[in-house]
Amino acid sequence: MASSNLAPDLLAALPEPLRLLAQRGELKRYRKDHRLVEEGEYGDTLFIILSGRVRVFGSGERDREITYGTYGAGEYLGEISLDGGPRSASMVTLEPCDCAVVTRTTLLQHIAEHPEFAFDLLAKVIRRARAATLTAKQLALNDVYGRLVLLLDALAMPADDGTRVITERLTHREMANRLGCSREMVSRLMKDLEGGDYLRADPTGWRLLRNLPARW
């Protein structure tokens, strides 16, 4: 892990309120698969992602994991722990990442000088709380196939030929982590959907050939 000499354009690409905060932080570079944060530990730092992607996840019994989300450049993470409580999730880099690391003290100084940023921070917390509520609802009310359909539909984008494409090439393990189930279950369902000509693997991801059935 190295710090400092990051290209100025990494900061320039941020919206101004976030760029001003990032400039106050310590610029750091992390390798792939680096644990930025461990669930349950205490910390007072905010991570502003300048490049790369980060996965946020929780762990349960027998090392089972559930992914809460993946985040890229322009996002910031770690705001929940700024109340002094323990970290509610772990964070790991999915690829080499450049981040601006901001302490709670620095954030408070920034808000004092730019109080409008407090509204952005509050809105971020509310959006993520809503997303967590939706995830819990899906886990409680949908079976694994239902959750898989919701995930695929959310990631799919329309293509010119009338199909829909998912350019984020998720492995079956990554899907399972997002859905809260086993990799074997995801593999079986995806194989069934391919066999039924509902989807196929493309070099860049997945292609949904027609609407997925509501029940399987």
Give me the CATH topology for the region 142-208: Arc Repressor Mutant, subunit A (1.10.10)
Read off the pLDDT of each residue in 160-183 and give the average, rounded to a whole number.
86
Using H for helix, E for strand and C for coil, what is the string for 111-166? Answer: HHHCCHHHHHHHHHHHHHHHHHHHHHHHHHHCCHHHHHHHHHHHHCEECCCCCEEE
Q: What's residue 3's pLDDT?
A: 44
Read off the pLDDT of each residue in 190-200 and give the average, rounded to a whole number.
93
Extract long-range pairs of 72-77: CB within 8 Å, 24+ residues apart.
73/10, 73/13, 73/49, 74/13, 74/14, 74/15, 74/18, 74/49, 75/48, 75/49, 76/18, 76/46, 76/47, 76/48, 76/49, 76/124, 77/36, 77/37, 77/46, 77/47, 77/49
Q: What's residue 139's pLDDT?
A: 63
For the stretch 11-26, pLDDT in tens is: 887 888 889 999 999 9
**Residue 38 scores a pLDDT above 50:** yes
Contact 57, 177 (CB under 8 A): yes
3-state class (DSSP) for residue 73: coil
Contact 76, 18 (CB under 8 A): yes
Q: What's residue 168's pLDDT?
A: 81
For the stretch 135-154, pLDDT in tens is: 666 665 578 898 898 889 88
Q: What's residue 4's pLDDT?
A: 45
Closest CA to 46 of 82, 74, 11, 18: 82
* CATH-assigned architecture of domain 2-140: Sandwich (2.60)
For the stretch 108-133, pLDDT in tens is: 899 999 998 888 888 877 777 777 77
The model's confidence at residue 63, banded by pLDDT at 50, 70 and 90, is: low
Laid out side by side, the sheet with 76-77 consists of 2-3, 26-30, 97-103, 45-51, 76-77
Read off the pLDDT of each residue in 63-74 and give the average, rounded to a whole number.
82
Q: What's residue 67's pLDDT?
A: 82
Q: Hey, where are the domains in the chain? A: 2-140, 142-208
Which residue do the tokens 């722990």 mark?
81
Q: What's residue 1's pLDDT?
A: 45
Average pLDDT, the chain: 84
The model's confidence at residue 89, banded by pLDDT at 50, 70 and 90, is: confident
Indicate if 142-208 has the same CATH topology as 2-140. Answer: no
